[in-house]
């Protein structure tokens, strides 16, 4: 199983809107691709929140082929939606992992 982790530090000024949008729109849009089997949305604890609140959204897919299909067919549009909605209000990085246990 493949775990695709997206970590986002979101500015305080849009935090509440961002969290609601993630839950109501963005995560459902990612899951609607049919390429992920489940997800988790987590708030990081014990980190400096002076310039924003940090979340990790984890998406699980069966294999690398499913992830690559997501990257090629869906990720550019979904990432653009996020960037257009919250310009200059976040920083993000993505991590790809294999679940081994």
The CATH number given to whatever domain includes residue 94 is 3.30.70.100
pLDDT tens for residues 49-91? 999 999 999 999 999 999 999 999 999 999 999 999 999 999 9
Average pLDDT over residues 39-57: 97
Query: Which of 74, 38, 35, 76 is closest to 57 using CA atoms?
Result: 38
The pLDDT of residue 91: 97
Structural domain containing residue 41: 2-98
- CA-to-CA distance for 60 and 65, rounded, in angstroms? 13
The pLDDT of residue 71: 97
Per the structure, how many domains does the chain have? 1
Average pLDDT over residues 10-34: 98
The pLDDT of residue 20: 98
The pLDDT of residue 35: 98
């Amino acid at each position: 199983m493949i775990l695709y982790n997206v970590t986002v530090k979101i500015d305080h000024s849009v935090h509440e809107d961002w969290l609601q949008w993630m839950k109501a729109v963005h995560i459902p849009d990612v899951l609607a691709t049919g390429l992920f089997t489940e997800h988790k949305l987590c708030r990081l604890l014990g980190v400096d929140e002076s310039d924003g609140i940090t979340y990790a959204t984890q998406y699980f897919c069966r294999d690398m082929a499913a992830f690559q299909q997501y990257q090629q067919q869906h990720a550019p549009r979904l990432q653009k939606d996020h960037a257009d909605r919250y310009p200059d209000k976040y920083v993000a990085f993505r991590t790809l992992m294999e679940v081994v246990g």
